[in-house]
Amino acid sequence: MGGSGSRLSKELLVEYQDLTFLTKQEILLAHRWFCELLPQEHRSVEESLQARVSLEQILSLPELKRLIALHRAAVKIAMQSAWPSACNTANPFKERICRVFSTSPTRDSLSFEDFLDLLSVFSDTATPDIKSHYAFRIFDFDDDGTLNREDLSQLVNCLTGEGEDTRLSASEMKQLIDNILEESDIDRDGTINLSEFQHVISRSPDFASSFKIVL
Amino acid sequence: MRYLSEWDQWKRYSSKSWERFIEKAREMTTHLELWRKDIRSIEGKFGTGIQSYFSFLRFLVLLNLVIFLIIFMLVLLPVLLTRYKITNSSFVLIPSKGADIQCTVYPISSSGLIYFYSYIIDLLSGTGFLEDTCLFYGHYTIDGVKFQNFIYDLPLAYVLSTVAYLALSLLWIVKRSVEGFKSNLIRSEEHFQSYCNKIFAGWDFCITSRSVADLKHSSLRYELRADLEEERIRQKIAERTSEETIRIYSLRLFLNCIVLAVLAACFYAIYRATIFSQEHMKKEIDKMVFGENLLILYLPSIVITLANFITPIIFAKIIHYEDYSPGFEIRLTILRCVFMRLATICVLVFTLDSKITSCDNYPCELCGYNQKLYPCWETQVGQEMYKLMIFDLIIILAVTLFVDFPRKILVTYCSSWKLFQCWGQQEFAIPDNVLGIVYGQTICWIGAFFSPLLPAVATLKFIIIFYVKEISLLYTCRPSPRQFRASNSNFFFLLVLLIGLCLAIIPLTISIARIPSSKACGPFTNFNTTWEVVPKMVSTFPSSLQSLVHGITSEAFAVPFFMILCLVMFYFIALAGAHKRVVVQLREQLSLESRDKRYLIQKLTEAQRDMRNRLD
C-alpha cells in the first residue's frame, strides 16, 4: 500500500515500539492514517515525521472521527466559528485529549509522534499509572493541576450530554459533587490533586475497560 | 560514561528479544480467538455491557466443547473404535447374575414403515430411531472393552467422565469469577466510591457512533439521577419511625409468602403436567392426531416456558409494594427469576424420578424401579432433557423471527399509528437473555450423564444462538437506557451460572447414588446403583491405599476437617475486618496531616509578613 517512501524504517519501528505501548501493526496503521491527512507531495517518511496537522484535519479523518471527539462545552463558547460542521464526532473529551497530547506552542495541532503518544496511552497494554496520569490531565479543564468544583461540574456536564435539558439541576449537581469530594478528597481541601485521583482510580474497577481506544 | 560488560549487554538483548517473542505469540493467539471481530464491533456499537453477554456466550460454547471432548475421549472413543473395527478390540459383555429376568427385558419398538411425521416426531423428541443411537445412555450396554494388553473399564470411565466434567465446570467458573468477585467486594462496601467510579470511569472511550454516544449520555444521566435518588431514599429509610418499620416488615413477610405461593403453584403445575405427559406418552402413536401427539410430548416444556414468562411479571408487580431502594429491587427480582427458572428443571427431574421409582403408588420391590413403564429409565430422562433443549432452541428462534423482526418492521414503517409509537423498538434485555442461556446450560449439565452427545448438541445450539442474537441485536434492537456495567455484569453472569451448576448437581447426585440403575440397558447392569462402580474399584486397590481412602471418607476425618475449614474462614474474615479498620484510621491520619500542613503554612506566611513589616 502506498509508495515505497511511505514505509517506516525498521529501526524507527523498533524505537517506537520501545517508547510506546503499541504493537508493530498498530504503529503502521497509525502512520498510514496520518499520511492520508498530509497533502500528496509531503507524504515521504521524513516529511511525515516533521509535519504537524491541525486539530480540524485530524478530526476530519473518517476513522478518527469515530475515535477522537470534541469537547463541546468549553469549545462552543470560545471558538464556535472555527469548527467545521463536518466534525460529527461522538466523544465529548475530544478537544481536551488533543490539547493534552499536543506539543506545539499553540496546543492545537498534533504531530505524528504526538498522535502515537495518544494512541499508546489509550491502548490496551498501557499501565494504569500512565492512564490515570493522562486522565487527570484530560479532566483538568482549567489546567491548574487540581480538579476543583468547577472542573468537576464541567466534567459531569460532558458526561450527561450537551443541551440545556440534559444537565442535572443545581441541587443534584451540588449533591453529586459533594459525594465525589467526600469519596476522593482525602486532605479535605476541596480539590482533588493527582495522587488522590490516582488513589481513587486504582480502586475503580471500570477504569481499565473504559479508558481505551480500540484499534 | 559507563560501559556495559559483555554479559550485561547480552542479558539486555536477550530479555528484549524474549519480550518481543512473547508479544508476537500473543498477537498470534488473539487471531485464534473465536468471534473476535464480531464481539469487538458489538463492543464499539453497543458498549461493554452487551459485549459482556456475548463474551459469556462464547465462554459457554468453549465450555460445552471441552465437556464434549472429555466425554468423547473417555466414553465414545473406545466404543466407536471397536464398533467400526478400527482397532483390534472387542466388547466384554457380562451377563447379569442375580437379577430377575423380568428386569432385563427392553422392548425397542421399531415399526417397519415409518411415516414422515413420526420421523419428525422422533427427531424432535429422541424416540424411535434415535433411541438406540449413541445419543442416549441405553446404547452403551457394554461392560468393558478388551484391547490387546488391558481391559478398559467402561462403567468406571462413564462415572468418572461425569465427575470430571462437573469438576472442570466448577473450577473454570470459579477461576473466571475471582476477578469480578474482588472488584464487587470492594464496591459493595458501603457503596464506597460508586460515584467516583461512575464519573471518572464513566465514559466508554470505545464508543464509535453518534447515536450510541447520545444513548450513553442519557444512560449516564439516568444512572446518576437514580443513584442520587437512592441516596435520598436511604436517608429517608434511616429516619423511619418504629411503627412504620413494623408495618413495612409485616407487609414484606406477607408478600414473600405470596411469592412462595406463586412458586409452589408453578412447581405443582409442572409436576402435574409431567405426570400427565408420561402417562399418555405410552399410547399408540397412530391413534393420535399429529398435533396432539407433539403437544403431549412437549407438555412439560410448554408449561415451564409459560411459567417462566408469567412469573417475572408477577414478581415485578409485587416488589413495588415492598418499598426497597431501586437498586435492591432490581437485584431481588432478578434473583427470584433465576431461582424460578432453574428450580423448574429440578422439579421436572424429581417428578420423573418419583414416577420411575413408584409401581402403582407402591415402592418397587422387583427391580427397584418401575421396569414395566421404564425398562431403560436413564434413556427416558435423557429424552426429556433432549426435548427441553430442542424446545428452548425453537422458542428462541421463533421469538426472534415472529416477534422481534415484525415488531421492528411495524415500528419503522407504521410509526404513524400511536400504538406502535408507544410500543417502540425492541430493547436488548440482558438479564432475560442471560437467564435463557444459563437455563440451557443447566439442562446440558443434567442431561450429559443420561445422553452423552448432549454437550455437542448444546455447543451447536449456542453457536446458532450467537448468530441469531447478533443479527437480532444489529437489526432490531435499540439499546436500553438502563445499562449494565461491564465489571458488574461478568460477576453477575458467572454467579447465576454457578447457581445453575449447584442446582444441576442435586438431581444428578440422587440419580447416580440413590436410584437403582436399569438392568436392561446401559453400562451399569451388573451394579445396584451407578455409584457402586467406584467402591468396587477402590476394593481392588492395595490394602494400604484402601485403608487411606476409607479413612478420608469416614466421619472421623470429615468432621475435624470441616471444623478446621470454619476456623480458617473465620480467621480470614477477622483479618479483612482488621484491614478495613486500618484503612479508615490511615485516611483519618492523612486528613490530619494535611490540616497540620495548612496550619504550618499559615504560621509561616504570618511570620514572613511580620518580618517584612518589621523591616519596613
Spell out which residues of chain B touch residue A160, defining contact as CB-CB under 8 Å: 217, 220-221, 224
Q: Are residues B325 and B387 in the same domain?
A: yes
pLDDT attached to residue B265: 92
Residue that has been written with the C-alpha cell 414503517 in this structure:
B413
pLDDT attached to residue A68: 40
Q: Are residues B275 and B403 in the same domain?
A: yes
Alpha carbon B350 to its chain centroid, in Å, reads: 20
pLDDT per position as a tens digit, B381-420: 898 899 889 999 999 999 888 888 888 888 777 766 766 6
The answer, yes or no, to whether residue B571 has pLDDT greater than 90, is yes
pLDDT attached to residue B94: 78
Asked, for residue B24, whether it belongs to a domain, the answer is: no
The radius of gyration computed from the CA coordinates of chain A, to the nearest angstrom, equals 19
CB contact under 8 A, B27 and A23: yes
Point out which residues pair with B144 in neighbouring strands: B92
pLDDT per position as a tens digit, B214-269: 777 877 887 788 778 878 888 888 888 888 889 888 999 999 999 999 999 999 99
Point out which residues pair with B363 in neighbouring strands: B358
Task: Say how far apart CA B594 and CA B559 lie, in whole Å.
Answer: 53
Please give the interface size between A and B, counted as residue pairs whose CB atoms are below 8 Å apart.
134
pLDDT attached to residue B240: 81
Q: Are residues B447 and B539 in the same domain?
A: yes
Average pLDDT over residues B324-335: 76
Task: Say how far apart CA B451 and CA B76 lie, in whole Å.
Answer: 11
Minimum distance, in Å, between the CA of residue B237 and any CA atom of chain A? 18
pLDDT attached to residue B461: 95
Distant-in-sequence, close-in-space partners of B184: CB < 8 Å, separation ≥ 6: B487, B488, B491
Contact in structure between B344 and B266 (CB atoms under 8 Å): yes
The answer, yes or no, to whether residue B171 has pLDDT greater than 50, is yes
The model carries a pTM of 0.72
Spell out which residues of chain B touch residue A95, defining contact as CB-CB under 8 Å: none
pLDDT per position as a tens digit, B70-119: 999 999 988 888 888 887 878 878 776 666 777 777 776 655 556 677 77
What structural domains does chain A harbor? 10-121 (1.10.238.10), 128-210 (1.10.238.10)
Q: Are residues B533 and B559 in the same domain?
A: no
Task: Say how far apart CA B497 and CA B144 lie, in whole Å.
Answer: 35
Spell out which residues of chain B touch residue A183, defining contact as CB-CB under 8 Å: 192-193, 195-196
Asked, for residue B205, whether it belongs to a domain, the answer is: no
Task: Say how far apart CA B520 and CA B131 lie, in whole Å.
Answer: 14
Distant-in-sequence, close-in-space partners of B321: CB < 8 Å, separation ≥ 6: B251, B255
pLDDT attached to residue A1: 39
The answer, yes or no, to whether residue A67 has pLDDT greater than 50, is no
Contact in structure between B386 and B451 (CB atoms under 8 Å): yes
pLDDT attached to residue A73: 28
Asked, for residue B7, whether it belongs to a domain, the answer is: no
Task: Say how far apart CA A83 and CA A60 lie, in whole Å.
Answer: 11
pLDDT per position as a tens digit, A22-44: 778 778 877 877 777 777 666 66
Helix B486-513 and helix B154-188, axial crossing angle in degrees, nearest 10:
150
Q: Are residues B455 and B601 in the same domain?
A: no
Side-chain half-sphere CA neighbours of A53 within 13 A? 26
Residue of A nearest to B41 (CA): A214
Phi, psi torsion values for B93, nearest 5 degrees:
-115, 110
The answer, yes or no, to whether residue A130 has pLDDT greater than 80, is yes
Q: Are residues B543 and B611 in the same domain?
A: no
Spell out which residues of chain B touch residue A168, defining contact as CB-CB under 8 Å: 221, 224-225
Asked, for residue B75, whether it belongs to a domain, the answer is: yes
Structural domain span for residue B580:
554-615
Contact in structure between B517 and B527 (CB atoms under 8 Å): yes
Task: Say how far apart CA B367 and CA B106 lie, in whole Å.
Answer: 13
The answer, yes or no, to whether residue A84 has pLDDT greater than 50, is no
B203 in contact with A, Cβ within 8 Å: yes
Instruction: Tell which of B553, B574, B598 closes a domain.
Output: B553
Residue that has been written with the C-alpha cell 461425569 in this structure:
B162
ipTM above 0.90, yes or no: no
Q: Are residues B476 and B596 in the same domain?
A: no
The answer, yes or no, to whether residue B456 has pLDDT greater than 80, is yes
pLDDT attached to residue B462: 95
Compare B46 and A12 and report the one with higher pLDDT: A12
Spell out which residues of chain B touch residue A174, defining contact as CB-CB under 8 Å: none
Instruction: Tell which of B553, B572, B602 closes a domain.
Output: B553
Which of A168, A200, A210 has its CB closest to that of B224? A168
pLDDT attached to residue A69: 37
Asked, for residue B469, whether it belongs to a domain, the answer is: yes
Contact in structure between B50 and B482 (CB atoms under 8 Å): no
Closest CA to A103 of A115, A94, A92: A115
* Element housing B363 (H / E): strand B362-363
The answer, yes or no, to whether residue A93 has pLDDT greater than 70, is yes
Q: How many domains does chain B have?
A: 2
Q: Are residues B569 and B491 in the same domain?
A: no
pLDDT attached to residue B460: 95
**3-state SS track over A44-109:** CHHHHHHCEEEHHHHHHCHHHHHHCCCCHHHHHHHHCCCCCCCCCCCCCCHHHHHHHHCCCCCCCE
Asked, for residue B38, whether it belongs to a domain, the answer is: no
> What secondary structure letter does DSSP report for B85?
T
pLDDT attached to residue A80: 29
DSSP class per residue in B547-594: HHHHHHTSHHHHHHHHHHHHHHHHHHHHHHHHHHHHHHHHHHHHHHHH
Rounded (5°) CA angle B137-B141-B145 = 115
Which of A25, A90, A211 has its CB closest to that of B201? A211
Task: Give the pairing type, strands B144-146 and B426-427.
Answer: unpaired
pLDDT band at B568 (very low <50, low <70, confident <90, very high): very high
Highest mean pLDDT among A62-66, A98-102, A198-202, B258-262: B258-262
Average pLDDT over residues A192-212: 82
pLDDT attached to residue A59: 56
Q: Are residues B471 and B578 in the same domain?
A: no
Instruction: Tell which of B513, B530, B553 closes a domain.
Output: B553
B487 in contact with A, Cβ within 8 Å: yes
Asked, for residue B107, whether it belongs to a domain, the answer is: yes
Q: Are residues B101 and B172 in the same domain?
A: yes
Q: Are residues B587 and B532 in the same domain?
A: no
Q: Are residues B600 and B452 in the same domain?
A: no
pLDDT band at B444 (very low <50, low <70, confident <90, very high): very high
Distant-in-sequence, close-in-space partners of B172: CB < 8 Å, separation ≥ 6: B63
Q: Which of A149-158, B183-192, B256-265 has the lowest mean pLDDT?
A: B183-192
Average pLDDT over residues A56-84: 40
Compare A106 and A135 and report the one with higher pLDDT: A135
pLDDT attached to residue A86: 22
DSSP class per residue in B197-238: HHHHT-S-TT---HHHHHHHHHHHHHHHHHHHHHHHHHHHHH
For residue B478, the SS3 value is: strand
Helices (H), B281-325: 290-297, 299-320
CB contact under 8 A, A212 and B595: no
The chain-wide mean pLDDT, for chain B, equals: 83
